[in-house]
Structures are given as C-alpha cells and as structure tokens.
Structure 1
Amino acid sequence: MIFNKFGLVALLSSGLALSSVSHAEADISGILGGGLAFGGETLVDDIRFTDGSSGDVKTGEGFWLDFGFRAGFEGWALKNTIGYKSGGVFASNGDATFSRMPLTVVASLDNNGHLFGAGFTYELNPELELDLPGLYGTAEFENALGLVLEYENNHDTWAWGVRYTHIEYDYDATGETFDGNNIGAFFNWYF
C-alpha cells in the first residue's frame, strides 16, 4: 500500500513538473486515444451462453479510452493520460466486466517519429462486476501500480503503437493476487 501511494505521488509529480517548463522548451499537445489489450489471469471462467458458446473475464483484457497531454522535447517526450479500461463478457441477458481507471505516465526517446518508452500506470478503482442470471455482485480490488513499456509510431497529429503492461491486482477480501500482465495495440490523436 505504501508503494502504491508513493507511485501515485510520483505520477502526479511528473505532471506538475511539466507546469514549470516554458512553452519555448516543450511542444505541448493534447491526446485522445484508445486501444485493445489481451492477457491477464482469468477472474471468471466458462460463462455459458444460450447458443452453446462460452467466455471468460480476464484481468488484462479489454478496450481503453484515454485523454491527456504530451510534452515533446528535443529527442524525447513525456506523455500523461487518464482513462477508462474495461473488458469482459457481454450478452443480451447480462454481462461480467472488469473495469478500472488508469493514470499513466510514459517517457519516450524519439528516434525520427519512432518512440520507445517506459513508465508507470496507477490503476484506480479496479472492479469486477457480475450481472448474469444466477450470478451477480461486485468485487472491488485495491488500486494497483504497474510498469508500462511501449513503442509508438508517430505521424505528428496521429500515432499507433503497442504497449506491454506489467501489473498485479490485490483482492483484500480473500488475500489473493491476480496477474494483470497484458499487451495491447493503441491509436492516439494529438491536437
């Protein structure tokens, strides 16, 4: 828990540090983005549908939407975003989802529009929500701090990339820890 609080302070401090940089030194732009991730440990498995198919809810899977800002410097960039990430199983008579709000900071080296970055994500309010026939309820997990590695191919006003996230989610009610490691593809629009 102390490490998570320290991580949150570090994430917020990196954003505050940018406020002291003048616009002459940094090219500041807004970000609107999203992506799709795969991986993680199974939280709920073998959810059966009426057509005979089945699905699972995993800690790393899902889509995300985020917004924030990027400060571009000579040869490197710093990106700060906050977003919403959710994945699960969706059916006409109910769904099972794992959702959270990632606060992410990534510093990247810029090699002619190819950005190689590393940073942190602090995922707020991770929650498993079940609303299925005969199975419903909510399980709230502890906020989680994770490591992010990413490659971004930048084309000035838009970019695509891939991201690896190394993270674990703690569920205090049972003392269990779930592996949330995942890899995702993303698209960003810079304005």
Structure 2
Amino acid sequence: MKQLIALATLAASALAPTLAHAGLDSDNPLHPLVGIAITGGGDKISHVDYTDGTSQDITAGGLVQLYGGVEYHPKGAPLAFQATVGYHVDSTHARNGDQTFSRWPIEAIALFNATDKIRFGLGARYAASPKFSSGGAGYVGSADYTSQVGFLAMAEWLITPSMGVQLRYVDEHYKVHSVTYDGVNFRESDYHLNGSHGGVGFNYYF
C-alpha cells in the first residue's frame, strides 16, 4: 500500500507542472482555441409550421455558431488578440423538407483583462457567404446575400485557464444580392436584413 501511495505521489508531482501550464497560463503566447455559441436575434427570414401544431422561425441572428482559431496572449500581459473562423447556422429539418440560413464568420477581437478571471473584448466580424436555402415541403426559394463588416463586443469569465464562458453581442447587416424561386433568378439589391444578435458561448484554450 505504501508503495502505491508513493507511486501516486510521484505521478501527481510529474503531472502538476503540465496542468499548471495548460491553456492561457502557458509560457507560449500562442493558444489554439475552439468554441461554440448559442445566439438569437435579428430579422425573421422565414416562418415554418409543422403538422404537430408547433412552429419555428429562421432568423438572421440565430442560432448556433461553431468556430476555431488562435489567441495571442503573452503570459501576464493585460491584452490579448483573437482571430477565428466559424460556421453560423439557423435551420429547421423535417422528414419532408428543410430551411437553412448559413454563413461563415471571420472574427478579430482585442481583449483586456479586468481581473485574473474577467476580461472584455471589442472586435470586428465579417460573415462570409451568407445564404438562405430551402427544399422539399419547406421550399420557399433561396437567397444569396452580401454582408457588411460588423461590430462585436464580449465579456468572458475564465472558469480555468483553459475554459471560458462568454456573453457576446454582434451588430451586423446583410443586403440581398439575389433571390431564386422555381429556377427563376431575381435581383433585389434594395432589401436589407438586420443580423444583429446576442449570445452565450464557451471557449476551450489549448
């Protein structure tokens, strides 16, 4: 038993330096990251009714964003910089049809450490390739959009040096480039869409 305790103590001692230098506590200033955010807001793009009596809206600010990137944060410095690329989508799927609004956001954020656990960020976001599509019983046509560079503000609580919970707000807008219905293409360059939204996110830092 004493030998097992001694081995466990040695193993814990060996692992301790590795755990202490995980995430943003690492001496390496570059930290890969992955994250997910649940978002809501923006103009309603479509409304879907189901046969069971329920319904769902597709909005320009919803619903799930997955992303990955890198943060530059020298150990002990009050400032950090993040760059990420992600996939942001709001969709509905049934056995006989679907509707989807998708885009590929690129974000650049400067962060300031208010405390060891709390930090605030400001940045810019560009949602590339925004598109609405539909099919089956949910078919209402499709639309391609152009996006403008938007503004992003966030606050993050670092649960550990490797995990952070975020509150975020994005102000962004889209302009309709073209609409397609039954194979016919229409251009509607004067129609604008507000994609501004709020959300709650989770980041993991390596």
TM-score in terms of structure 2 length: 0.76
Give the aligned partner of residue 21 of structure 1. Answer: none
Measured in 2, the distance between the counterparts of 1:115 and 1:79 equals: 13
Aligned mates of 1:39, 1:133 — CA distance in 2: 25
Written as runs of structure 1 = structure 2, the 5 A alignment for 1:102-117 is 102-111=105-114, 112-117=116-121
Match of 1:150 among 129, 154, 165: 154
Question: 2:196 matched to which residue of 1?
Answer: 181
* Ranges of 4+ aligned residues in structure 1 off by more than 6 Å: none
8 Å Cα contact 2:133-2:143 kept in structure 1? yes
Residue identity in the other structure for 1:29: H
Instruction: Note the aligned Cα RMSD (angstroms).
Output: 1.5
Deviation at 1:136, TM superposition (A): 4.5
| TM-score of the two chains, using structure 1 as the length reference | 0.82
Consecutive unaligned residues of structure 1, counting only runs of 5 or more, are 1-24
Letter in 2 for 1:185: V
Structure 1 residue 158, shift from structure 2 partner: 1.1
Query: Percent of counterpart pairs with the same letter?
Result: 27
Unaligned runs of 5+ in 2: 1-26, 178-186
2:175 to 170, 175, 185: 170
Q: Specify which of 92, 98, 103 is matched with residue 101 of structure 2.
A: 98
Q: How many Å apart are 1:26 and its aligned residue?
A: 6.8
Q: What is the letter of the counterpart of residue 198 of structure 2?
A: I
More strand by share: 1
Aligned residues: 166
1:159 aligned residue: 164
Distance 2:57 2:104 in 1: 21
Q: Residue type of the partner of 2:161? A: D
Other structure's SS at 1:153 match: strand
Partner Cα separation in structure 1 for residue 153 and residue 109 of structure 2:
8
Q: Which amino acid aligns with 1:152?
A: E
Highest Rg: 1 or 2? 2
3-state SS in 2 of match to 1:135: coil
Residue 29 of structure 1 aligns with which residue? 31
Are 2:64 and 1:60 aligned?
Answer: no
CA distance in 2, matches of 1:141, 1:134: 20
